[in-house]
Amino acid sequence: MAHHKSIIIKKNIVKTLILTEKKDTDITYNITMQKNSKLTLINIKNNIKSTDHTNIILAENSSLNCIYISLPKETIENHIQVDLNGKNANCKLNSLSIVNKENKIINKTLINHNFSESTSDQLFKNILNDHSYSEFSGLIHIKRHAQKTKANQLNKNLLLSDTAKSIAKPQLKIQADNVKCAHGSSTGQINQDELFYLQSRGLTIKQAKTMLIMGFAKEIIDFITIKKVKKSLEKLL
């Protein structure tokens, strides 16, 4: 059963929402952010399957900071649409997924820059083991009037096995002429020079690999500033 939830972040309000789903989910969140509001949205999904849609509309001077942590059972799909509808609206989407066995993570984002001088930053990181699979498809659409937009999008995949697979489809659609945009994707295994360096200091290969994997994850975890959530997450990983 699909659920719908509507959330309004009122003018000048600063809010943090922590969504930790315990059961399999199929929810659509519609979030409206009014002028000068700030929202930190932390979405942690551990050992569940889910297909969620999150649609967020940002008004002038509002700022959104989203952190998605996904450890799927079977498949997690995160569909995120952000509409930047006012000047100085800015959004950050950061995501870390750790995928094992034959599980799948699918992240689909659509960022609509509908007004001038808005910014968006996306960083999607996946750690893939066994026969797991990741898909990132992200479209940044900069509309004709959205001059002076700044948009970044990056997808990074760390493959821990030869049988894990990752697909990236970063896309840009730019209709304004004065914008700064960057997007990219990288996929690789554990860096052998880094591994050797740690081993040469006495760390076992297992310790060294764990340290490098945690290092890859840290960039996202560090975006979480709530100590309690951060600690429990580090424990989980």
Partner 1 sequence: MLKIKNLSVKTNNIEILNNLNLHIKAGEIHVIMGTNGSGKSTLAKTIVGHPQFKASKGEILFEGQNILKLAPDKRARLGIFLSFQYPTEIPGVNNASFLRMAYNTHQKSQGHPALDPLEFEDLLQNKLKIANISEKYLDRAVNAGFSGGEKKKNEILQMAVLEPKLAILDEIDSGLDIDALKSVANSVNSLKNKNNAIILITHYQRILNYIKPDYVHVIHKGQIIKSGDKTLAHKLEKKGYEWLITNP
Interface residues toward partner 1, by CB under 8 A: 192-194, 196-205, 207-208, 211-212, 214-219
Instruction: From residue 179, give the alpha-carbon distance in Å to each of 77, 82, 138, 151, 183.
Output: 30, 18, 18, 8, 13
Which of 74, 81, 142, 141 is CA-nearest to residue 107?
81
* Nearer CB in complex with partner 1: 35/209: 209
Residue 103 to residue 105: CA distance in whole angstroms: 7
Work out how close the CB of 208 gets to partner 1 at its nearest, in angstroms, rounded to a whole number: 8
* Nearer CB in complex with partner 1: 176/211: 211
Which of 153, 56, 155 is CA-nearest to residue 97?
155
* Nearer CB in complex with partner 1: 28/152: 152
Work out how close the CB of 205 gets to partner 1 at its nearest, in angstroms, rounded to a whole number: 7
* Nearer CB in complex with partner 1: 136/216: 216
Residue 135 DSSP SS3:
strand
Work out how close the CB of 52 gets to partner 1 at its nearest, in angstroms, rounded to a whole number: 28
Residue 142 to residue 31: CA distance in whole angstroms: 21
Work out how close the CB of 209 gets to partner 1 at its nearest, in angstroms, rounded to a whole number: 12
